[in-house]
Structure 1
Amino acid sequence: MSAVVEQSDAASGGLRAGLRRVEGSLRPRLRRFLSWWGNALAAWLPPGTRDLIGLTPQRLLLRVRERDLELALWRGDEAGVLADVPLAGLGDGGGDPFAMLLAPRALEVPRWLLLPADVVLRRRLVLPAAAGERLREVLGFEIDRQTPFAADEVHYDARVLGNRGDDRIEVELAVVPRTTLEAALAALGPLAPTLAGVDAADAAGRPLGINLMGDARRHRREDPWRGRNAVLLLVAALALAAAMWQMLANRRAAADEFERQVEQTVRQARAASLEKRRLLDLVEGGAFLQSARAGTPTMVELMDELARRLPDGTYLEKLSIEGDRILLIGLSREASALVGQLQGSPLWTSPALAGALQPDPRSRMDRFTLTATVATAPAGAAAGEAGDAAAAR
């Protein structure tokens, strides 16, 4: 049982150690990526804008020159000398000795002590690329071999010079004796606790970009832009949310307007279809009536045909046409022969007497009632005849 517990504890310890190694390897990579990403974004902005929002890296370099202290503002890749201050009497009046010399914005810039190039020992080394993740820790074991000092006798830092391309990197180790650094800090007097770091100058007098001061002694300045950047970030987030909401509202309004237009177009299409249907009905009805009229003889034609077929001794009292039924009522001396007279006409069919003949004593004629059916030609034939008639005209 104890063996199982020991194996479990060993496994959990190995897991924690692995997680610490992963965290330790990811953290510097994340810092380098964020630094590269921030610098790439800042490069797109004009220099004045970068200075306004605090994206241009700045340092107030303090360089000891015999009895004077030179103040230079390092901005980006350029340095401009601001003033020379005597070392004697620094801090005698209390407060910040640079308050009367520098602008308020320059007072907020991190202060760095810049050591001369001849007091710093520099060595170039070639290491595996994996050592770049823990460069300072790895070079801590190389101090005894690369310098005449022990590791506890110096302050050191390193920087990466480049990639050799064969999974190796070229680095530079910078070492300064503790006694030399302590003497330089002592010369600054009350300014030493205000330093954010200690850098070294190269042969041209430019900072190397290292920090030889230990973490415990570095002065952490409160970023004056932190509050403003937080406000700007909040404003940017609110502006982005408002822009997205406005974009969504615009899309919704556009969708509603498109739906309204579609509904209006559908209503217009339905109205046009209904009007077209009505027009077709009217045209078909007119064509039907025209064809019906073309196949039915007119009243003038019927009266003309009756006048030619009825004998001279026949008088009509009533002529009625209802639909296709012809009704004749009148007096005739030859009433019994009227049916024969009316037969064979192309304008009507089936002539017949309706009821018995009634003698009229006053006129000495027979009263008759006669019916017939109007002859109607088929629609196609009637339309053809109407077309022929129109062509003849």
Structure 2
Amino acid sequence: MTLADALNPVLARLRSRFAQTPLPRFWRWWTGELLSFLPLRWREVLTVEDACVVLQADGENFAVSAERGGLRRPLMLLAAGEREEWAQLLERGLDDSRRGQRRVLMLPASRLLRRTLSLPAAALENLDAVLGFELDRQTPFKADQVYFDSRILRQDPGAKQVQVELLVVPKPVLDTELNQLGSIAAGLSAVDVVDTHGSRLGVNLLPPSARASMPRAHPIIQSSLFAVSVLLVLFGMGQVTENRLGAVASMQAEVEVQRENARVVVALRKQLEDAAAAANFLAVQKQTQASMLQLLSEITRTLPDDTFLERLSVSDNQVSITGFSAQATRLVGFLQESPLLRDAALNGSIQPDPRVARDRVTITVNYGPPAEVKP
């Protein structure tokens, strides 16, 4: 694995985070305004253009064109009958300025499978791995059966979703095209796709291991560009960090306000519950306590006429009856027949009283419906 391949995931994450800031849009505006003040010739020199040599199949032949700034100019045609000499013909047909340019093989869009996906913005940090997992769901192929690449269709700064187009070509299709090129395939830097207007989509379906390495730029220019890139990345990351810190501080302040509001609500709710409990106390007591008039009426109805009471006490729903009766042994049975009295039982022994010619008895009984049995 080359150093560039090792740095690609890191650079992809940095590009993703940088693209989610307002800096790219500001940079394009600012550089465009600066270049507008320069003469036309200077602008042409300073403008970076993707110059490359394009190869596109034309039946069994291959058309070779030079592309610069989106404009394509035909150069030559590699005829199928001269396949063994294609490498020499291509070298002779290119001048010195084009021999060092990237060579791109164009595939028609009809040979590919294209899908538009809506992904979280965080997926751009490791887009190839995410799309590798999506292949089984979005295509009938597995990751080891195809070559694939992607391009970002829409990415708004600060948006949580991005529109990504997945382009997939089966390995046999691309391998056949590469085999037709013969030795020229070893010099390819990319395999791109031509759209319906004849323009390149800007993807690269060629595996990294098969891509031809480009000649290194001048060390001073390369070092300068790298230093500027690092400064811009650091500035962008600092801006993102500052924005995040500001957002966190704002959220903390809002959380504190909501927390204070919650405390006030809890206090008011406690006051309301206490007031409601105090207001309902008497009503609850009235509902839970037995009615004395109904109790006296029920005891009067239940006990026989030869019985009179000496003492009647009520504690909660428990009633204690002390009196004299000529049928003392049957009083418990009489009380148990009442639908409002339950659990009647003698409290102590029955004592004869010769003064009144009756037996003195004490009975305890519960008044009211039976308590609900809890599960």
TM, length-normalised to structure 1: 0.47
Report which structure shows greater RCO (CA 8 Å, sep ≥6): 2
Bigger radius of gyration: 1
TM, length-normalised to structure 2: 0.49
